[in-house]
Structures are given as structure tokens and as C-alpha cells.
Structure 1
Amino acid sequence: MTEFVADYLMKYEINEELSYTISNIASALIILLISALSYFITRKIIVRILETFVAKTHSKWGMILVENKVLERVSAIVPIFVIHAFAPVFPAFADWIQRLAFCAFVIVILLAVDKLLSTVDDIYRNYEVSKERPIKGYLQVLEIIAYVIGIIVIISTLIERSPLLLLSGIGAATAVLLLIFQNSILGFVAGIQLTANNMVKLGDWIEMPKYGADGEVMEISLHTVKVQNWDKTITTIPTNALVTESFKNWRGMQESGGRRIKRAIYIDMTSIRFCDEEMLNRYRKIHYIQRYIDNKITEIEAYNQSMKMDLTDIVNGRHLTNIGTFRTYVDNYLKNHQKVHSSMTRLVRQLEPTEKGIPIEIYAFLSETDWAEYESIQADLFDHILAVVPEFDLRIYQNPTGYDLRRLHAGIDN
């Protein structure tokens, strides 16, 4: 084609060198035009026809391929083939044109493989097993291997050397490669350990204060684990850190179906006393402890009689206390609450007295594990418990406030 155009121009007495220059430029423009036209036909017509066909078949996998634009990446191969096929038109540059075209072909294949691996991950995520056994880290390793092989092939093509020769040179530089890919190797090994030991999976809620992570695992990749925190911020943790360092996984709580309450209220020790007749008569009217009081009074009276106790002094013998009765009420209240897990541990215990009073700790599990619902139910429980404390002639301990000081001052003035 170049010779034909040059001969045609020389017939009009155009300089031979200029004729060949013009013919080469014209040939190049024609080849580029054919390449562009082939690319347009492939991408805008053939690829669109294939996408329409996939849409009509309603194939889930096919739709993911379309969404990830795998076919569009592959369509770039066609113009490269055109350029490679027309390389002999330029005999002086044919070898280099074919080499560069082949390198471009390898690059397009690598980009298509990258999209294809992403598609495989997206397809895999549609299955429930993907939450327990994520494969993104493994796919990223395959991606790295593909790029390394592609780079070796490109370099060997440009310098006209066998890829095996380059591989042997890489073998000699293994130590350098290990240093370069250290993070990738550590991440790959960590990913295997996380998967094999079922330490963390997608959807788990984890806490790792060192990295400011407190939220749901969104993604597990070769190098990082992405966590969406409770405030919707995103934290990335090195995958290797989840193996070498400590973190808290709330999955056990979620799978058990119960979320723990472990909170104490502080009772003013000066409000604790033995129950007298009037107090017991009032407490008998409380539904959750009616039977308890009747049984305990019978038990205590029998004990005191058997021991011949002198009950003229209240110190002698056994007596009910308001704080003990209160603990029993709270325990029965929790026992009868619909949202408190009946098959899990439930305790209402007295802890060691402190300068803030006597802590009465409530240790129980709610059947609701959703955070917002859990907090709402827990607040309702303690609203009730705090409100009922005065009914047992007890006081909640609280540091003096300005309001307390004003009342004290007003009382002194009066």
C-alpha cells in the first residue's frame, strides 16, 4: 500500500523521499482509522448486542460481568490486532510495531483479568458462605501473580529475550522480592489463618481500640480489613494485625441470641435497715415479692423460736432487711420481664461497699442483640429500678449538687 501511494505521487513529479513520507503518513492514518472503526463497531455495536442479550436472559452472573465492564475491556483487543496485522506495511518498523502491539495486547489482557477477578468476587459474595470464607485476599494474590507474569512477558518481548531467562534472574533476586512483597505475603498468610480459624468474617462487629475500630467488618482484602464504625466512619486495619494483635469480636454474642447487661446502682448505706411490721405490710402489696415475704417470715419466725431468741432487741435473731428485699424484687422483676433471656445467667448481687455506697449489680442478658433496641430496653429496666428504690425505704447515692446545697442552706436559715 505504501509503495502504491508513493509511486502514484512520483508520477506527478513529487520528490521520492517526500512521496514515501506522505505515503507512510497516509498509510498510518488509514490504519488508525480502520483500528478506530473496528473498536467502535466492537464496543458500540457488538458489546451492546451482547449486553442486551444478557439483560434479556436475566442471568445474574452475566449482569455482574456487564456491570464490571469486562466485555468493554476485552473489546480493546480488536484494534490492537488490526495494528499488528498491518505492521508489514512499514517494513522498517514492522518488528517494533508488532512488539509494541503485543505488549499492548498483554496490558489489555491484564486489565481484563483484573475486572474478571473482581467479577468472581462479586459473584461469590452472593452466596452465604462468602461471609465466613471471603476470597478477596486470594484473588488479589492471583492478581499480583498475573501482573508479575505480564510485566515479565512485556520486558522479554521488548528486549527479545526468553521469559525463562528473566525468571532465572528473578530467582537470584528472591531476597529483594521478598522485601518488596513483604506486606503482601504477610497479608496472604494472615488471610489464610483468619479463614481457617474462623476468627473474623464479613458482617462481624469487632473492636480494636489501637486502630480506632469499633464497628462492622465490610471487607477483608489482602492488605487491609475495612471496618465501618458505629458513627459511619471507616477504619482500615492491616490484615496481619488481626492475627498478631488482640481484638474483640461480638459474633459470639450475636449468635448466642443474648446481649449482656452488667451495670450497678449505688445504694446509700445510711438508708439500709431491718424491716419492721409496717414496712413488711407495705411490701406484701408488691406483686413480685408477696410469696417471698410470706415464706421468709414463716422461715424466720420458726428459726427464732427454735433458737429461743429474745426479740425485744432487734439485733437478736434473724430479720428481713430492706436492701435484701429490694434485691429479691429486682431479681423477680427481671425474671418476669419478656425481654430478659430466661436461659442465660441472671444475677442481682451485692458488691463490695465503696465510698459511694453499696453497689447492687444487675447481671443479665437481653434477648434483643440489636444495639439500638438493646439500649432502649436496658434504659427502661433501669428507669424502673431507680424509680422503685424509694419504695423500699432506700436512697440512691449521689454526690451533693448545687440544688442540695441550696436546700441545706435554706434549712439552716429557717
Structure 2
Amino acid sequence: MRKFTHFFYDYFIQLNLSENSATYLNMLALLVLLVLFIIIADIVARRILLQAFSTFAAKSKTKFDDLLVNHQVPKNVAHVVPLIIALKCIPIVFADFSAFESIVELLLKLYCVVLVLWIIRSILNTLESFFKTLPRLRDKPIDSYIQVLMLFLWLIGVGLIFVMLTGIDIKTFFTTLGAASAILLLIFKDTIMGFVASIQVAINDTVRIGDWITMEKFGADGTVIEINLNTLQVQNFDMTITNIPTYALITESFKNWRGMSNSGGRRIKRALIIKAKSVHYLTDEQINELKKIQLLTDYLTQRQDDINSYNTSNKIDKSVLINGRNMTNLGVFRKYIQSYIESHSAINKDMTIMTRQLAPTSQGLPLEIYAFSSDKRWQNYEYIMSDIFDHSLAAIPYFDLEIYEFSNYSPEQE
């Protein structure tokens, strides 16, 4: 052993240096050689492992080994080789300096703990990426579970480092840590709540990655792109990112549009406000004019025959239009819109189609169109809805109806 520990000592003595100087210079020379050897060993080990993993990944059909390379698992594992070399050679380099040897060995052991945690972290990141490629797990909050596991590992790692630095018994340390659990619970309150929320979200299938959610309190309206331990990330439709505390998913209300996405259509629910004064009964001349509208021809013919038959059999005095049974321009318009929507190519015919009156308001009489577009994509949905209402608004004058428009005009202004 002395042959290696004092490899340069005799050479420095021959240069007429003092024994003390020769001892220090011998240690420095050995340390420089060790550092160079460690660097070379690290480079060689890294290249060998990377080449081996890359070759195996290229031949393998699974993506897991590719992900191991992408997350630098071989590179991190390669650092173990120079670490082992350093631990074995430190007693040789610092044979004459036991105090230095203890300090360097302690630093290497601390580095060993961090390196092990770093390797585990890269493996867990690989597992996370791999799980996200599986159809069954792609929309699950895998990030949360990985982060919780890493949190516990880091706590254990920090505990080991603390024990190494202070020299106290590890059992005593963790016993003390248990006594301070109340303080730890307070410090990690958000993390614990986030973890509990992640589990509940996963079990109840409340939110998945890829869901469209709306959460007005946080200004979120878009697609969930990530669910981790503390936050849920939503990419809004204006491409901004909103971060929502994970525990808010179980404490706050939000809207998940997954049901709409999984259904056969996207709902159209919008009303035209008809001016009440424009609603009136139709005369025979007006009905005959409206029969020119192809969607109404058969309906008006049948309806007019039924009404005339009823009024005649009951001897209704039709000199006053309100007597007996009649058709109104609003009722015929409602029937026209119903027929138009039912014949629209972009409307799902297997879902509810309805044109209905709502309760009159101070502005007028709402005529609501309720249907479902077959295309659920936002841009196409808006185009379909606009197309329906463009046509409806343009059709209103044909029925002698008017749309309510707010005006500040007053006869007193004249």
C-alpha cells in the first residue's frame, strides 16, 4: 500500500524538499491523477453505457428503452463508476491526512445519496412517460403519483444527509421527525391536499388529461394538459395557460365538457327576440302567399283545410278574425324554423330538435332554437350555429315579424 500512497514522495525528497513539503506535494499529485482518472472513467463509462443502451433500443420494439435514453438514465448510472473509484482511492490519496480523508469521504457519501436519488428520479420520469403512452393510463394523473413518491424519497434522502452530517442515530432522527409531524403537515398542507385530490379525481374519473373544462373562478376555459401534485394546467382557447390548485377540483365547482364530447352532438340553444307588436293573425291572402315557401306548402294546405272545416262545422263568425281557430304569423314562422332545422344537414336528427317560445320579457317574445350540431369542433359548431341564425333572421320579414332592437328614440325628442 505504501508503494502507492507515497508514489511521488521519494521523488520530491530527491529534489531536496522537506519531508512536510514532500508529503503535501505527494498528496496533491495523487489527487490530480485521481481527478484525471475519474474524469476519464466517467467519459468512458458514459459512452459505453449510452452506446449499449442506444444499440439495444434501436433493436427493441418497445419504447421503454428509448425513453430510458431520453431521460438520461444511462448517463446518470455511468456516474456510479467514477464514484466507486473515488471511494476506493481516497484512502490512498489521503493516507497521511486522515482529517482530509474523513471530510472527502463524507462529501462523497453525500454525493452518493444525491446520485441515487437522481437515478431513481430519471427512472420514475421514464416510467411516467411510458405510462402516458398506454391508452388506459394516458389521461390519468400519473404526474401526481410520481411527485408524491419522489417527495418521500427526497425526505428520506434529506434525512440520511442530515444523519451523516450530524452523526446522530437514524432511529432517533426519524423518531424526532414523527414528533414534528404536525409542523410538517402544516408545511406540506397544499401538497397533501393536492395528493388527496389527485386520488379522488382518479378514482371518480372527474377530470382527465385532454378534457375541456370551464372554471370561471380561475379564468380557465380550455383543455387540461397536465395534472400534477400541486397544480392542474389548462391551456385556454386563447393559448394562455391557467394553473389551478389540484385540490380546487374537489372544493370548487367547474364544468367538464367531456359528456358533450362523448355525445352525438353539441347543443345549440339560442333565442330570437320577436317584437310582440308584430305578432298577428294571418288572413287567407297572407296564408296563400306563404304557401309559396316550399317547406311550408304541405303544412299550410293541411292546416288551412283543418281550420276551415272546424270553423265551418261550428258556424264561426269569421267577420271578426279572432273568432274560431286561426293561424298566426309567429306560429307559422316557428313551424318553418322547426322544418328548416330538421332538414339541415349539420344537425343530428337523433337528438332533440325543438323550436319553442319562452316567457315574454320587457324586450319581447323569445323564440328559442334548441338542437344539436353533428360536428362538435368549436370552429365548425360556431359556423353551423351562425348559418342557422343568418337564415332565421333573413326569413323573419317574410312572415311580417320584427326583431326587437333597443333604441333610445323618444317621440318627445322631435
Shorter-normalised TM range: over 0.9
Name the residue aligned to 1:52.
55
CA contact (8 A) 1:267 1:357 kept: yes
The 10-residue stretch of structure 1 (83-92 or 157-166) with the greater mean CA deviation from structure 2: 157-166
Name the residue aligned to 2:39.
36
CA contact (8 A) 2:274 2:364 kept: yes
Post-superposition CA distance 1:120-163 (Å, at most 9, x none)? 11101111222443321111100001111111122222333332
Which one of the candidate residues 140, 163, 171 is aligned to 2:178?
A: 171
CA contact (8 A) 2:139 2:210 kept: no
CA contact (8 A) 1:331 1:348 kept: yes
In 1: Cα distance, 2:302 partner to 2:83 partner: 93
CA contact (8 A) 2:53 2:69 kept: no
Matched, 1:251 2:254: no
Matched, 1:25 2:28: yes
Which one of the candidate residues 180, 192, 198 is aligned to 1:191?
A: 198
Shift of 1:39: 0.6
Name the residue aligned to 2:293.
286
2:87 maps to amino acid: H
Shift of 1:400: 4.3
Which one of the candidate residues 65, 68, 72 is aligned to 1:65?
A: 68
Name the residue aligned to 1:326.
333
Matched, 1:182 2:189: yes
Shift of 1:301: 1.7
Which one of the candidate residues 226, 232, 250 is aligned to 2:233?
A: 226
TM-score by length of 2: 0.93
TM-score by length of 1: 0.93
Matched, 1:128 2:131: no
Which one of the candidate residues 12, 28, 43 is aligned to 1:9?
A: 12
Which one of the candidate residues 368, 371, 375 is aligned to 1:368?
A: 375
Matched, 1:75 2:63: no
Matching of residues 204-243 of structure 1 within 5 Å: 204-243=211-250
Matching of residues 372-411 of structure 1 within 5 Å: 372-400=379-407
CA contact (8 A) 1:132 1:195 kept: no
1:42 maps to amino acid: A
Shift of 1:370: 0.6
In 2: Cα distance, 1:375 partner to 1:114 partner: 45
2:253 maps to amino acid: S
In 2: Cα distance, 1:171 partner to 1:354 partner: 65
Provide the alpha-carbon RMSD of the alignment. Answer: 2.0
Matched, 1:114 2:121: yes
In 2: Cα distance, 1:312 partner to 1:235 partner: 67
CA contact (8 A) 2:131 2:138 kept: no
The secondary structure found in structure 2 opposite 1:397 is coil
* Percent of residue pairs bearing the same amino acid type: 39
The 10-residue stretch of structure 1 (244-253 or 96-105) with the greater mean CA deviation from structure 2: 96-105
CA contact (8 A) 1:204 1:216 kept: yes
2:305 maps to amino acid: T
CA contact (8 A) 2:194 2:229 kept: yes
Shift of 1:195: 0.8
Shift of 1:307: 2.3
Matched, 1:270 2:273: no
The secondary structure found in structure 2 opposite 1:215 is strand
CA contact (8 A) 2:53 2:65 kept: no
Name the residue aligned to 2:155.
148
2:19 maps to amino acid: E
Name the residue aligned to 1:340.
347
Structure 2 stretches lacking a partner, 5+ long: none
CA contact (8 A) 1:131 1:203 kept: no
Name the residue aligned to 2:322.
315
